[in-house]
Chains A and B, each alone.
Chain A
Amino acid sequence: MLAHHQRIVITGVGLAAPGASNLHEFRKQVLDGRSGIQEIDLRYFGTAPAGLCSIPETKYRKKKENKKGTRAGCLGVYCAHEALLDAGLEQSVYDKARTGVYIGLTEHGNVETENEIYHLKQYDYDVAYWSHHHNPRTVLNNPAGEITVSLGITGPHYSIGAACAAGNASLIQGVQMLRLGEVDMALAGGVSESTGSFGIFASFKAQGALAEAAAPEQACRPFDQKRNGIVVSEGACIYVLERLDRALQRGARIYGEIVGYGMNSDAKDFVLPFDQRQAECMELALAKAGLRPDQIDIVSTHATGTKQGDAEECRAIRSVFQGTGSPFINNTKSIIGHAMGAAGVLELAANLPSFDDQLVHPTINLDDPDPECLLENLVVGEPAQGSTLSTILNNSFGMLGINSAVIVQAYRGSS
């Protein structure tokens, strides 16, 4: 058992998802299985199903600052403020020099660069009209930096670039920095503004990996025979992480403890996933947590709705969990699409309230299960009732063969 100052707990959550702007709304949405996906129209590209967030953008900073910054910064600033308030941390209460901001990104800068080139066209591509805002908007620490500027946090800030494993990777970074004693509090999470980039949609389409459907809310259908690709979403989710001793000392509400994590690399292909390494990644996380597979209650899957990706993850899950009494398994992307750098942290947030309400949110749009994706205890259509739900394993995988799994356990006190 780790000492209390080495145990890291989640004490606040701020989020923006397609369909919800706080954890309470989000929990209701995923339990109802209500899709947050709509049709959008992108410059050059045309229409596509996608997830957009509706948040009160000027709640925590002026419109002027939102215009100066990026969409990722706007979402990140909103979620960081919300997370601190949720943690009961007024601005004056925590040490800003001892707070770290670690934000996971799949990509950043595509939206801003596309916009700049588009606007430059009206000046016949004369770069004298290229914006002075381009560099501060596109440096890779941008969303994390905008958060520190907004909150006056003077501790370290940076981004974690880890494709679609970035949300989990940022949580892991936060845990590690707290354990090393580098900071006393971490704002860790992920952000995505990818719905603003036609290039991201066009690239997925060229890959044959972009979802298409007559009804946008039915476009994201992991594990279904008729799945045909990814639904790109924007979103953000930021957690307040603290050491257990400090959280107990200040009487904080503890959402859960990050008890294990694993990250590894396929070292194989630019885009195709690999079940064996994914299974090894889950086993790394279990080993770090000191847990057996039968001690996991919920597996929150990464599956994005691509043909091969979903099948690979199912094989990996079967190899780790089959014959162990099988945890409940679900998929949040079926409801909110793929929020890229925010995906892992939003999907964890979608499941975290299970510790309190003892429900497992359903996977939607799974009408005709693919035989290659059969999983015992996959929760479909309606929430499943649990009784002793206390441990979640959260998968997130990304391009270039990056795998991550984070295990969060309910903190029941006195241990």
Chain B
Amino acid sequence: MTRADITDLIVEIIADIDDEADFDNLDPEKPLRDQLDLDSMDFLDIVMELRKRYKIQIPEEDYPQLATLNSCATYLEPMLKDV
């Protein structure tokens, strides 16, 4: 997966959590939770979905690295490079 594929994947997972989410003005450098209606349980939905789809185990101490779309791409790129 490329970085673009990964950000598309994250957007797709969030759209599944909240079908009313508006991604048009999403800044990839700003925290997702500041821009979208996501609480801590919704954030854990993203983590769980990555586990279910790609068997990725993300330790709790790494959660801050999933704060923005760009940081998601950076963090997940090595794990998803062969997908």
Chain A residues with a Cβ under 8 A of chain B: 62-64, 67-68, 123, 128-129, 131-133, 136
Contacts and interface: CB of A to CB of B under 8 A. Distances in A.
Contact of B52 (A68, A129, A132): A129
Nearest to B37: A64
16 contacts: A62-B18, A62-B20, A62-B37, A63-B18, A63-B19, A64-B18, A64-B19, A64-B20, A64-B37, A128-B51, A128-B57, A129-B51, A132-B44, A132-B45, A132-B48, A136-B41
Interface in B8-22: 17-20
A68 B52 CA distance: 18
A383 to B, nearest CB: 44
Contact of B41 (A123, A128, A133): A133
Contacts of A129: 48, 51-52
Contacts of B51: 128-129
A386 B18 CA distance: 52
B2 to A, nearest CB: 27
A62 B22 CA distance: 14
Interface secondary structure of A, over-half rule = helix
Contacts of B19: 63-64
Interface of B: 17-20, 37, 41-42, 44-45, 48, 51-52, 57
A67 B37 CA distance: 14
A221 B41 CA distance: 44
Contacts of A136: 41
A64, A68, A128, A129 interface centre (most CB from chain B within 10 Å): A64
Contact of A64 (B17, B44, B48, B52): B17
Contacts of B48: 129, 131-132
Nearest to B57: A128
Contacts of A132: 41, 44-45, 48
Contacts of A63: 18-20
Contacts of A128: 51, 57
A68 B20 contact: no
A136 B40 CA distance: 12
Nearest to B38: A64
Contacts of A123: 52
Nearest to A64: B18
A62 B18 CA distance: 8
A114 to B, nearest CB: 19
B49 to A, nearest CB: 11
A44 to B, nearest CB: 23
Nearest to A119: B52
Contacts of A64: 17-20, 37, 42
Given A63-B20, A129-B52, A132-B45, 17 more contacts: A62-B20, A63-B18, A63-B19, A64-B17, A64-B18, A64-B19, A64-B37, A64-B42, A67-B17, A68-B41, A128-B51, A128-B57, A129-B48, A131-B48, A132-B41, A132-B48, A136-B41
Nearest to A58: B20
